[in-house]
């Protein structure tokens, strides 16, 4: 299992359904389709590409690319959007819970481990449920459910 080295280009809302969205401020450059989260210091209304163990609570998925400091629309809980698989060899199975990954590219996901610990649940990395198989180095649809009680 090896992390992807570049974030793929795709339209996160293509084939999905953006049920809820909200506009935040980008605390860093953000690419369309990246999972975004608050910084661990929690700057008001500001999100960053999610990196497990580095950023705080996952908020949703960026709907378009922006530079740091710009406003960005983020698909929130209940929306169905595409996200990127962090791994270039592992496939994420449909029905798997997905979480923010620690890939340095930022904003990618991986399948949650089968054993959730209190630290995993409280880490704020839950993104949602894969609705389709997500091939290695690719992207696929997820139902965003950032509620940490999912695992």
Q: Per-residue pLDDT tens for 16-50?
A: 999 999 999 999 999 999 999 999 887 899 999 99
Identify the architecture of domain 21-150 in CATH: Beta Barrel (2.40)
The 10s digit of each residue's pLDDT in 104-130 is 999 999 998 765 554 555 568 999 999
pTM of the model: 0.93
Backbone angles phi, psi at 140, to 5 degrees: -165, 175
């Amino acid at each position: 299992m090896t992390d992807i080295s570049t974030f793929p280009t795709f339209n996160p809302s293509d084939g999905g359904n953006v049920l809820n969205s909200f506009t935040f401020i980008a605390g860093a450059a953000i690419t369309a389709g990246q999972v975004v989260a608050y910084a661990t210091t929690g700057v008001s209304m500001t999100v960053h590409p999610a990196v497990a163990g580095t950023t705080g609570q996952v908020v949703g998925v960026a709907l378009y690319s922006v530079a740091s400091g710009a406003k960005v629309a983020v698909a929130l809980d209940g929306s169905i959007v595409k996200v990127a698989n962090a791994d270039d060899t592992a496939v994420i199975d449909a029905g798997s819970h997905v979480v923010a990954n620690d890939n340095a590219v930022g904003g990618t996901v991986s399948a949650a481990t089968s054993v959730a610990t209190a630290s995993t649940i409280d880490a704020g990395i839950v993104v949602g449920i894969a609705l389709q198989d997500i091939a290695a180095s690719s992207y696929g649809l997820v139902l965003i459910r950032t509620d940490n009680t999912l695992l």
